[in-house]
C-alpha cells in the first residue's frame, strides 16, 4: 500500500517534540522514502567534540520509521523493536541527512534502512531496523 497522503502530511508538518528539541526537520517524503535533516553544531556534541552517536541514531531511526509509515494504512503506525547502526566517520558540524527507505514489509514485521550523510555526501552512518505495526495511539498511555 502506498500512503501518499501520510507522506505529504509528514512533509508539511511543523517539527515538534524531539525534532524541535534537536532542530531536525523532514526535508523529503514520498511513499517508501523519507529524508530527515539536522544542522549539527555545538549543542549536538559530546565531551570529545564530535556529534553524539545518539543524535545520529535518532534521525536515522526516525527516517526509517517514517519511511515505513508512508506505506502503512491510515490508523496504523510502527514502533522499532530492533535497531543496528554502524558509525563510519565522526562529524563536528554541518548538515546531516538521514535517508530512510523501506526494505520489506511483512504482516507483523517491517524492515528498513537509513544512510546518514554529511553535507559533502560522505557516508557517516548506516542503520537498519526491524519494526512492528501498532494501532495509532497504542502504547502512548
How far apart, in whole angstroms, are the C-alpha atoms of residue 30 and residue 15? 17
pLDDT by residue (tens digit) across 103-139?
999 999 999 999 999 999 999 999 999 999 999 877 6
The pTM score is 0.94
DSSP 46: -
Q: Indicate whether 17 pLDDT > 80.
A: yes
pLDDT by residue (tens digit) across 19-68?
999 999 999 999 999 999 999 999 999 999 999 999 999 999 999 999 99
CB 81 within 8 Å of CB 21 = no
Domains of the chain (ranges, CATH numbers):
4-135 (3.10.129.10)
How far apart, in whole angstroms, are the C-alpha atoms of residue 112 and residue 127? 8
pLDDT the model gives residue 139: 61
Q: The C-alpha cell of 31 is what? A: 511513499
Amino acid at each position: 500500500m502506498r500512503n501518499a497522503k501520510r507522506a505529504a502530511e509528514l512533509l508539511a508538518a511543523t517539527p515538534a517534540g524531539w525534532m524541535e528539541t534537536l532542530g531536525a526537520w523532514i526535508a523529503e517524503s514520498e511513499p517508501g522514502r523519507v529524508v530527515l535533516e539536522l544542522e549539527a553544531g555545538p549543542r549536538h556534541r559530546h565531551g570529545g567534540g564530535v556529534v553524539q552517536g545518539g543524535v545520529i541514531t535518532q534521525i536515522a531511526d526516525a527516517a526509517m520509521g517514517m519511511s515505513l509509515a508512508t506505506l502503512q494504512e491510515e490508523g496504523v503506525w510502527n514502533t522499532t523493536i530492533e535497531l543496528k547502526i554502524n558509525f563510519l566517520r565522526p562529524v563536528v558540524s554541518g548538515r546531516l541527512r538521514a535517508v530512510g527507505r523501506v526494505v520489506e514489509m511483512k504482516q507483523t514485521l517491517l524492515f528498513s534502512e537509513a544512510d546518514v550523510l554529511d553535507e559533502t555526501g560522505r557516508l557517516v552512518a548506516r542503520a537498519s531496523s526491524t519494526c512492528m505495526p501498532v494501532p495509532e495511539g497504542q502504547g502512548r498511555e
